Amino acid sequence: MEALQTLTWSDTWYLSPELVLSGFAIALALLDLFLPKQVNRNVIGWLTLAGLICAGVCVVLLLLSLGDGTEVNSAEPFHSLLGGSYRIDNFGNLLKLVFLGSAGFIVFSSLGTVKDEDVPIKGEMYYLVLPATLGAMVMSSSGDLLTLFVGLELLSITSYILVAVRKNNRISSEAAFKYVVTGGAASAFILYGMSFLYGITGSTNIALIYDGLNSAIENSEALLYISFFLMIAGFAVKLALAPFHAWASDVYQGAPTPVTSFLAVVAKGAAFAMLYRIFMGTAFFAIGSTGFIQKDIFLGLAVLAAAAMIVGTAGALRQRNVKRLLALSGVANAGILLTPLALSLTQFHTSMFSEFIYYFIAYAFMNIGVFSVLTIVSRDSGNETLSGFAGLYHRAPWTAAAAVVLLCSLAGLPVTGGFFGKLFILFGTIQTHTYWLGAIMLATTVVSYAVYFTLIRQMFMRSGELDTGLKMTFPAGITIWICTIATLALGFFPVPILNWINDVFSIQFDFLVFRG
Amino acid sequence: MLDNLPVLSLITFAPLVGALVVLLLPAARSNWLRSVAIIFTVIPLVLSLWLFAAYHPSSGGGAYSEQATWLSIPLNIETFKAVDSLKLVFDYHLAVDGISLPLVLLTSIVSTMSVLASVHIRKRWKTYYSLFLLLLTGIYGVFLARDLVLFFIFFEVTLIPMFFLIGIWGYYGREKAATRFLIYNGLGSAAMLLAFLILIGTLGFSMADGSNLSFTGNYDVLLSNLSNPNAWANIDAAEMRGFGIFLTDNARWAAFLLLLIAFGIKVPIFPFHTWMLRVHTEAPPAVVMIHSGILLKMGVYGLIRFVLFLFPEQSHSWSTVLAILGVVNILYGAVLACVQREFKLVLAYSSISHMGIVLLGIASLGEVGLQGALFQSVSHGLISALLFLIVGSLYERTNTTQLDELGGLAKAVPFTSGILLLGGLASLGLPGLSGFVGEFLSFLGLFGSMKWLTAIGVLGILFAAVYVLRSILNITYGALPERFADMKDARFVEALPMIALAALIVLLGVYPSILTDLMQHGFDGLLEQLQTRVGG
């Protein structure tokens, strides 16, 4: 064990995104407390956005300062703090950028869009996004089980409050309570699973666990299995993977729509980041007495992914409430997003991180876009069911057109980011000869056409009760259009971003496997 | 003059440009919208006619081929030793040959007639025409693309506009028909994509100078790897030690069957036909002209291009099955067409029957039969476009297509009735009209190898005479119901496409070599493969 390494002043630069966020969070909490009641809380929203942007700039600067481990760029490929328990590397920075961007769009689109009657404590809704995002960033940047868990809890606890900010709404309080109970149980599962890893290897540091695993594995293979499967179960709840997804529909429905999209994008992404950190750091190349343990972990994850795709899509078919529908679509998408990680653990041994992050970026754009449309539509019609969308084409043809693009992307139709994201993941299943998983993915994708085209049918082929124009707010309109254009751009030009990810990301430096 | 232009791209994307122009025009100006739509539908027609004139069957379409790398995606290689790069490459590759050119011509002709027939569309013109043009881009792309992923994308691009065209402008049951269309065809596309990815992941693998590896979706590369015994995909699985780029026999069969299902749904092959009946009856006639006239042929094209060419051995051992499927289609469609009371359903079942003849031609796996299949596709495209054009005009006047409610129209609308009779005669295979040539060649091609099946299939022609004459006599002869007494015959804008299509049907019937000359060398590669691999 190395001597305990402490933080120095020079390290603050590496922690700048996290420090900026916590600074803003504290300052805004105090501001909300002391600001007179009659002042519009949108001010706090704009300041939250400013905080997210500042943190985003810091992440970009850090990303540029890191090298890629080749001779061409000789800068250090990653920087580790506190004895490797906190890591500034490209994996973390890429994900942080996505989280900050998503949170930024979500906050921006809700400015002036969320009604006071719906969320009486708007200031709180805005500034709590900051610690939640901070938690997500810690989860994507830690190299130690304990730090990871701290990040997870920071994100989870703030999310519980965020779900409950519709104070006068019974469904919202009920959702928050359900979320606390299931989320808490999930955290306990994860922690229990982690404790086995610590018990077997004597360390909480992922790099040291990796070193210790292969020697410890002979005596404690069964314990290792228990550990992995407990963690998988815990994460499955956090990711809303079937059959652990029952909370998702209720919570998504109860939360204010911007918070729902935060849960669908940032919270889900953060759980994936943590899963990657732990599983790529330990399960990749873990060898047991009967061969590769990772083969069984792969199978567990693949079955979970398949179940999520099937259950999510089938459930969404009968859903009339759009938020619950999107929650179940999120379950199916979590299955798709889990597939690349599962495939990375097959014997074919390759990292499918680019496939994951590409689809995740596409997923973020299409979800934020669709949720923004939903916010605007439900604000006008007063209900969140499918019939609220009826006749949208007649009221706002361009918004309806944007929604078609976003929904086509969710359905995986070309030429959109969602199409290529699914295509690359699908090609991974073919490459590793996991044909059954590919077939399930394709079949559920086709069934999901029925889900998303139900919405499109409402918009284009039915006439609604309202025939006045749709009241669009400026920030929401901008967000919808940026998401739509980004979705199309990812579809027509997927190569630049994939090239870039391939250049900066490396399993060798980011997950510390193959250190020779 | 046109030699230096990317003609194929122009044909494919001119309608897309038109769609964007339509989007920028004011929604209330129906005349402007219509004119722009017509202009951008005629541009591909002119270009493809030029292509038709300039094309030499003996030298093939190589001169017009366009190829560029579209996507070149790096895959992670950190776990491989001594590999410099591993890429997934998809090309933008358009090409034309004796198989695709007739279908491109068919598309350009039928789409022009269909855009003229769209006068009957009464609402939301702007959305209609932009979707119509987008659909055309998808169709041209399908017939011209030579990269598997590009082909797939164009194939999917046809789905979305069709969903809207059926669902918004169709008849009473339009929404159900649209959803069913989407799901059935979506399933077909899913099967196709799985098969394509299996092919790309195996046959598409190549290695340049030992350390630069790539997977490609380029059709030509796949085709040459397929027949090359030294290609990686053809190396024994045991030698590859888990590196999954070999194509096992099981995978070959799986891909073959998946593609057969994918294109079989589109054709449609019994029992995958239920969606197309609904589309025939519920979609607006102008859209059915495209659907029945062209979209079904995408299935035929796919069967020839991907199933036959990429899997000659499997096709050969399944040729009897294909022929049986064809015969089932012919008889099932023909018998049911005889008992329908709705004229559109008669035509729908007759389409199933006619596509069965195409399957017989394909099952023959010989030059004559294949030419027959393709000829029959083009001919059926023209005939069903003509018949649905007339259905559209009649429905405008009578508000019904039920055979019981129609009658005596020969007195009220002599011109339209005359053209209807001509279309019907072509459909039942009267010599001198195009339908005869396609059917004759298909049956002739199959007769050499499967006499009995051919003989049973020919029965379909007898039924065709029954159902065609029964329904046409029902419509045109007899007493004229009173409410149709002051009906007016076709206007100029309706008559023009009718005359054009009828003229083409007669032309192909009298002078079939216009088309067969084009196809002449289209099947050379396939026949060669069959010779060497299966031994004739």
Residue A516 has what pLDDT?
40
pLDDT at A284 over 90: no
- Bridge partner list, B342: B402
Residue A486 has what pLDDT?
94
A358, A423, A462, A505: best to mutate for the B interface, most B CBs within 10 A? A423
pLDDT at A286 over 70: no
A-B CB pairs within 8 A amount to 114
Which three-class secondary structure state does DSSP give residue B205? strand
Q: What is the DSSP letter of B3?
A: G
Closest among A343, A357, A261, A268 to A302, alpha carbons compared:
A343
User: By the 8 A CB rule, do A282 and A348 touch?
Assistant: no
The arrangement of strands across the sheet holding B85-94 comes to: B66-74, B85-94, B212-216, B205-208
Residue A14 has what pLDDT?
86
Closest A-chain CA to B151:
A414
pLDDT one-digit tens code per residue, A11-35? 888 889 999 999 999 999 999 888 8
User: By the 8 A CB rule, do A240 and A248 touch?
Assistant: yes
User: By the 8 A CB rule, do B83 and B211 touch?
Assistant: yes
Cα A410 to Cα A331: distance, rounded to the nearest angstrom: 12
Type of residue numbered A251: V
For the record, the structure tokens of A463 come out as 């006439």
User: By the 8 A CB rule, do B93 and B150 touch?
Assistant: yes
pLDDT one-digit tens code per residue, A460-514? 888 777 777 778 888 899 999 999 999 999 988 888 888 888 877 777 777 766 5
- Bridge partner list, B72: B89
Mean pLDDT computed over A88-108: 91
- Write down the domain spans for chain A: 14-70+77-511
pLDDT at B173 over 70: yes
Neighbours of B104 (CB within 10 A): 22
DSSP string, B287-311: HHHHIIIIIHHHHHHHIIIIIIHH-
ipTM: 0.90
Cα B390 to Cα B190: distance, rounded to the nearest angstrom: 35
Percent above pLDDT 70 for chain B: 94
Cα A377 to Cα B488: distance, rounded to the nearest angstrom: 48
* Alpha helices by DSSP H, A217-292: 221-239, 246-254, 257-262, 268-282
- Residue B489: exposure state from Cβ atoms within 10 A (0-12, 13-18, ≥19): middle
Residue A273 has what pLDDT?
92
Cα A221 to Cα A283: distance, rounded to the nearest angstrom: 12
What are the angstrom distances between the C-alpha of A339 and each of A177, A315, B196, B202? 31, 20, 20, 21
Q: Which of B81 and B180 is assigned the larger pLDDT?
A: B180
Mean pLDDT computed over B235-249: 63
Cα B335 to Cα A216: distance, rounded to the nearest angstrom: 73
Closest among A222, A161, A235, A156 to A191, alpha carbons compared:
A235
pLDDT at B2 over 80: no
> For residues A202, A205, A208 and A214, what is the CA-based torsion angle, rounded to 10 degrees?
70
Mean pLDDT computed over A378-401: 85
Percent above pLDDT 70 for chain A: 93
For the record, the structure tokens of A396 come out as 């706002």
Q: What is the distance, to the nearest Å, from the Cα of residue A422 to the centroid of all Cα atoms in its chain? A: 16
Give Cβ neighbours of residue B249 (< 8 Å, ≥ 6 apart).
Answer: none
Q: Show which residues on chain B lie within 8 Å of chain A, measured between beta carbons.
A: 71-80, 88, 127, 149, 152-153, 156-157, 159-160, 163-164, 167-168, 174-175, 178-179, 182-183, 186-187, 189-191, 193-194, 197-198, 200-201, 215, 242-244, 254
A 416-475 residues with CB < 8 A to B? 419, 423-424, 426-427, 430-433, 435, 438-439, 442-443, 445-447, 449-450, 453, 456-457, 460-461
User: Highest-confidence range of A134-138, A207-211, B445-449, B486-490, by mean pLDDT?
Assistant: A134-138
pLDDT one-digit tens code per residue, B128-170? 999 999 999 999 999 999 999 999 999 999 999 999 999 888 8
Residue A178 has what pLDDT?
93
Cα B322 to Cα B344: distance, rounded to the nearest angstrom: 27
Confidence of residue A289 (pLDDT cuts 50, 70, 90): very low
What are the angstrom distances between the C-alpha of B3 and each of B6, B8, B55? 8, 11, 11
Residue with tokens 């359900």: A178
- Bridge partner list, A81: A86
Chain B closest-CA separation from residue A453 CA (Å): 8
Residue B536 has what pLDDT?
46
Nearest by CB to residue B71, choosing from A450, A494, A502, is A494
Mean pLDDT computed over A400-417: 91
Report the 3 state secondary structure along B350-376: HHHHHHHHHHHHHHHCCHHHHHHHHHH
Least confident of A48-57, A276-285, B467-476: A276-285
For the record, the structure tokens of A55 come out as 């943190």
pLDDT one-digit tens code per residue, A249-272? 999 998 999 999 999 999 999 999
Cα B349 to Cα B329: distance, rounded to the nearest angstrom: 9
For the record, the structure tokens of B202 come out as 């195996």
pLDDT one-digit tens code per residue, A476-486? 999 999 999 99
pLDDT at A349 over 80: no
Instruction: Decide if A347 touches B, using CB distance below 8 A.
Output: yes
Question: Measured between alpha carbons, how far apart are the two ends of chain A, in Å?
Answer: 20
User: By the 8 A CB rule, do A487 and A369 touch?
Assistant: yes
* Alpha helices by DSSP H, B408-522: 409-412, 414-427, 434-447, 451-476, 492-510, 513-519
Phi, psi at B322, each rounded to 5°: -60, -40
Identify the H or E element spanning B171.
Answer: none
pLDDT at B505 over 80: yes
For the record, the structure tokens of B360 come out as 């017989």
Closest among B192, B143, B255 to A445, alpha carbons compared:
B192
Residue A72 has what pLDDT?
60
Phi, psi at B218, each rounded to 5°: -65, 125
pLDDT one-digit tens code per residue, A187-244? 999 999 999 989 888 888 888 888 787 777 777 778 888 888 899 999 999 999 988 8
Nearest by CB to residue B183, choosing from A352, A393, A450, is A450
pLDDT one-digit tens code per residue, B188-240? 999 999 999 988 888 888 777 777 788 888 888 888 887 776 666 666 655 55
Q: What is the DSSP letter of B64?
A: G
Say yes or no for a CB contact (<8 Å) between B156 and A413: yes
